[in-house]
Amino acid sequence: MRSLFRRRVALAAARARRRAILMAAGRKHAPSRKPKKHQRLRRYGRGLLVGAVAIVGMLIGVSLGGSTTQDIGPFRAQLSLTPSFTGDTSVEIPPLGSLELDSHDGPAHLRIRLESLDEARTRAFAAKSGNLEQISHDAVDQLNLGVRRLAMQTAGFGLLGGMILVMLVFRARRETAIAGFVVIAVLASTGAATLLTFKPAAIQEPTYRGLLVNAPAIIGDAKRITDRFEEYRDQLQKLVLNVSKLYGTISALPVYEPDTSTTKVLHISDMHLNPAAWGVVRSVADQFDIDIIVDTGDINDWGSEPEASYVNVIGDLKVPYLYVRGNHDSAVTAAAVARQPNATVLDDTVATVEGLTFAGIGDPRFTPDKSTDETDEQQHQEVVEAGNVLAAKIRSSAKPVDIAMVHDPVAAQQLAGLCPLVLAGHKHERSIARLNPNPANAAPALAPVVAPSPSESPAAVKALQERTLLMVEGSTGGAGLRGLEKSKPLPLALSILYFDENRHLSAYDDIQVGGTGLTEVALQRHLVQPDTKAGPTPTPSAEGSPSGSPSASPSPTG
């Protein structure tokens, strides 16, 4: 009985051991097929995740390091590369707009932005032999150097960004190395796509954006420019030399200051969006220690929103700036000027600055298409009416007005006898005249400025002094882009007015930079003499002999 029981127990134990062995074997071998497939999926998923993180890190690195600056000729340019589905190249010239070039179809967009004109390099270029062709070649080499440096810098930052981000996420050397290979492959593919789709001829067919939409109508197509390259090159060389010589010549100009009570007013007009003009204005303002700058309009060309940034330089001049709107300036332009901390916009208003009382009104027309017509009776009457409105404001002013400001000198005729001096622009040509008083303010006749006659009695001279002096400024911007319409550029013109302690105009300087073949700055000093009916026009004083003979060429009015 016992032996039978033992055999049954032993048999049950053996069966239990066999079942245990089979179960163990089943657990060891049966699931082995599933982990292999699962592990492969995990490896593929992890590899894709590493690649995605690497590309994200690369894009972060490109955004942080994908830009650089490069000196291109006298300009400081900013170059940048950004991811893009269309490729292409854009050349931005603020505030004028941009040129869009269909240069390539790769996944990278090249952006070139001309930031500023460097004063020191401009002078250095002018001090050399003046070989503009060599300067042009150097500019191309500098641009190529900048693009190559930008490409290497962008690739380096992209590689570093991809590897750092993968290392931070996975904390494994193997994945970090894989990320490096992924980024290198992506960058190499981008470079290859750019080179294979590069189109050198695209520079001949640019797409204009912003204000540069008007450029083809102004300067002609690329073929015409190429045909006239020699002429353009000669004129551009003169312009570079003229502007650069300002800095050397201006320091030698005599400053008229009979005593410390003299107030110096710088009169500018018709800047027409010329960025080089600001350098001239700033240099004169600093050298002559100007107290006030007055601007008689047409600071912009089309009065558009992109042009508003052009007036930001006003705040850097650090002196009071008085402005009236021209026919090329819109309400947007006037608002941009008014935002400058040192600027005052006069529009049928009166303001007292540095002891001088000014009254001004903006041009009633807005003709950014340059459609002013001197024979248009309606336009003429609009300007005359603006003069009448300002005349009423001057009559009602609590303080006697010393200087009136208008854009078109036609409006000045209505102010004769109401104030000693009227400043205007618009004509792009310097002129000075006396306005005979007319009680009815009805278009007084113009008489030339004359010197005193010894035969005149003091009483007669005093009576004649009441005639209003009209001073029309030339174009401080050389007519801007419109200067390209002429075979020779207009001079950059501006004037300094000297007022004594009695607020009387005692002298003025006419300054011109370049234009009409001049190669240096010209200054002509005038002493204001008592008004008489006969005599020659004032001549420069002995202490203020000009450094060149200023002569303004006629130009279409703005």
What's the mean pLDDT when you consider all of the chain? 75
Written as six digits, the tokens of 135 are 């300067």
Beta strands in 346-479 (DSSP E): 349-353, 356-360, 403-405, 421-424, 431-435, 446-448, 468-472
Query: What pLDDT digit, counting tens, does each position of 370-393 carry?
Result: 555 666 788 889 999 999 999 999
Q: What is the DSSP string of 479-533?
A: TGGGGGGSSSPPPEEEEEEEE-TTS-EEEEEEEEES-TT--SEEEEEEEPPPP-S
Residue 259's pLDDT band (cuts 50, 70, 90) = low
Query: What pLDDT digit, counting tens, does each position of 494-545 carry?
Result: 999 999 889 999 889 898 886 444 445 677 888 888 876 533 333 333 333 3
Most confidently modeled of 236-250, 311-325, 429-443, 463-477? 311-325
Cα 422 from chain centre: 30
Query: What pLDDT digit, counting tens, does each position of 53-104 carry?
Result: 988 988 898 888 888 888 876 677 888 888 888 888 888 776 666 778 788 8
Cα separation, 296 vs 326, in Å, equals: 7
Cα separation, 160 vs 497, in Å, equals: 61
As a whole number, mean pLDDT of residues 292-307 equals 89
Radius of gyration of the chain (CA): 37
Residue 488's pLDDT band (cuts 50, 70, 90) = low
- Is the omega angle on the peptide bond into residue 95 within 30 degrees of 0, that is, cis? yes
Strand duo 492-499 + 263-268: pairing: antiparallel
Residue count (the chain): 558
Per-residue confidence (pLDDT) for residue 276, from 0 to 100: 75
> Which residue did the predictor score with more confidence, 201 or 89?
89
Rounded to 5 degrees, what are φ and ψ at 524?
A: -125, 125
Most confidently modeled of 280-294, 321-335, 508-522? 321-335
Beta strands in 371-475 (DSSP E): 403-405, 421-424, 431-435, 446-448, 468-472
Angle value at C-alpha 340, between 336 and 341, nearest 5 degrees: 155
As a whole number, mean pLDDT of residues 330-340 equals 94
Q: What is the DSSP letter of 413?
A: G
Cα separation, 281 vs 290, in Å, equals: 10
Cα separation, 446 vs 312, in Å, equals: 37
Most confidently modeled of 15-29, 179-193, 521-535? 179-193
Residue 303's pLDDT band (cuts 50, 70, 90) = confident
| Residues 558 and 426 sit within 8 Å (Cβ to Cβ) | yes
